[in-house]
Amino acid sequence: MTTTLITGANKGLGYETARRLIAEGHTVYVGSRDADRGRGAAERLGDGARAVQIDVTDDASVAAAVSTIEAGGGLDVLVNNAGVEARGPDNGVAGAAEVTADLMREVFETNVFGTVRVTHAFLPLLRRSASPVVVNVSSGLASLTHVADPGHPAAAYPGVAYPASKAAVNMVTVQYAKAFPDMRINAVEPGFTKTDLNGNTGTQTVEEGAEIIVRMARLDPDGPSGGYFDVTGPLPW
């Protein structure tokens, strides 16, 4: 039996990933920072779903989630999915003229420090798994190659904090993967997906967006590690 934790699984890509992995036979801890939203999501997902409160910015919340999941029998797959976008003063994307250190810190707190906080806390459980897997939900906007290429659509995105946070997630992924060769640890780009993160302006469905997250969560021990993938294959850093 495979046991999986997905952070930020009460809605959006995390919820859809939970639905798919449960259908594949995983027991999924549906992580939610709000306990009620998590319980509601787990009820909707049905058998195979267990709600767990986890705010990735809060040490005590993460430690409590580790205790719950350890008592439940351990963890095989961690999907670091919880994420936030950076909003400027007019609720638009904060570009170079608007971004502040405080905004940057707020976005990094969830997207980067949250990923590290959760991964670090669950390492002892993952190390006990016969087939440990970590999926870090990054973004296509993390690709320095694409964002710096004026001919690429990613270059048109003006925000600073969000792409920088996801580029940091990519680096964290590479360093973890080298340090833990017995684990499969990869970063993924779901593609521009209709969720609350972008005010539901995304062009893909959550079913399409979750595809690469699900695929990398189901890797065998001989699968790739330390990579950055979208649904079509490896992406340039």
Q: Is 48 in the site for ligand NAP (CB under 6 A)?
A: no
Q: Does 194 participate in catalysis according to the annotation?
A: no
3-state helix, strand, coil in the chain (%, to 5): 45, 15, 40
Look up residue 152 and give its two tokens: 């690429």
Cα separation of 73 and 119, whole Å?
A: 18
Which range of residues in 94-102, 143-151, 194-202, 220-228 is near ligand NAP by CB under 6 A? 194-202
Nearer to ligand NAP, 197 or 219 (CB): 197
Q: Considering the rule CB under 6 A, would residue 45 count as an interface residue with ligand NAP?
A: no
Stretch that binds ligand NAP, among 21-29, 66-74, 177-185, 191-199 (CB under 6 A): 191-199
Assess whether 166 carries a catalytic annotation. yes
Burial 45-66 (b: 16+ CB within 10 A, else e): beebbbbbbbbbeeeebbeebb
Q: Does 14 bind ligand NAP (CB under 6 A)?
A: yes
Q: Does 5 bind ligand NAP (CB under 6 A)?
A: no
Q: Does 159 bind ligand NAP (CB under 6 A)?
A: no
Q: Is 143 in the site for ligand NAP (CB under 6 A)?
A: no
21 to 1, 78, 79, 228: CA distances (angstroms): 12, 12, 11, 20
Name the region of 226 (left: φ>0; alpha: ψ -120 to 50; beta: rest). Answer: left
For residues 136, 142, 143 and 149, what is the CA-based torsion angle, rounded to 10 degrees?
160
Q: Which two tokens stand for residue 215?
A: 């695929």
Of the listed 15, 29, 166, 176, which one is catalytic?
Answer: 166
Q: Is 125 in the site for ligand NAP (CB under 6 A)?
A: no
Could you give the residue ranges of the DSSP H alpha helices within 26-160? 35-45, 59-71, 101-108, 114-127, 144-147
Which range touches ligand NAP (CB under 6 A), out of 43-51, 55-63, 68-76, 220-228?
55-63
Q: Which has the closest alpha carbon to 220: 151, 138, 132?
A: 132
Which of these ranges, 66-74, 77-85, 87-95, 224-232, lies near ligand NAP under the rule CB under 6 A? 77-85
Among 22, 65, 84, 219, binds ligand NAP (CB under 6 A): 84
DSSP, collapsed to helix, strand or coil, labels residue 111 as helix
Minimal distance, residue 1 CB to ligand NAP, in Å: 25
According to the binding rule CB under 6 A, does residue 198 interact with ligand NAP? yes
Among 11, 15, 157, 162, the one annotated catalytic: 162
- Per CB under 6 A, residues contacting ligand NAP are 7-8, 10-14, 33-34, 37, 54-57, 81-84, 110, 114, 137, 139, 189-190, 192-193, 195-198, 202
- Catalytic positions: 162, 166
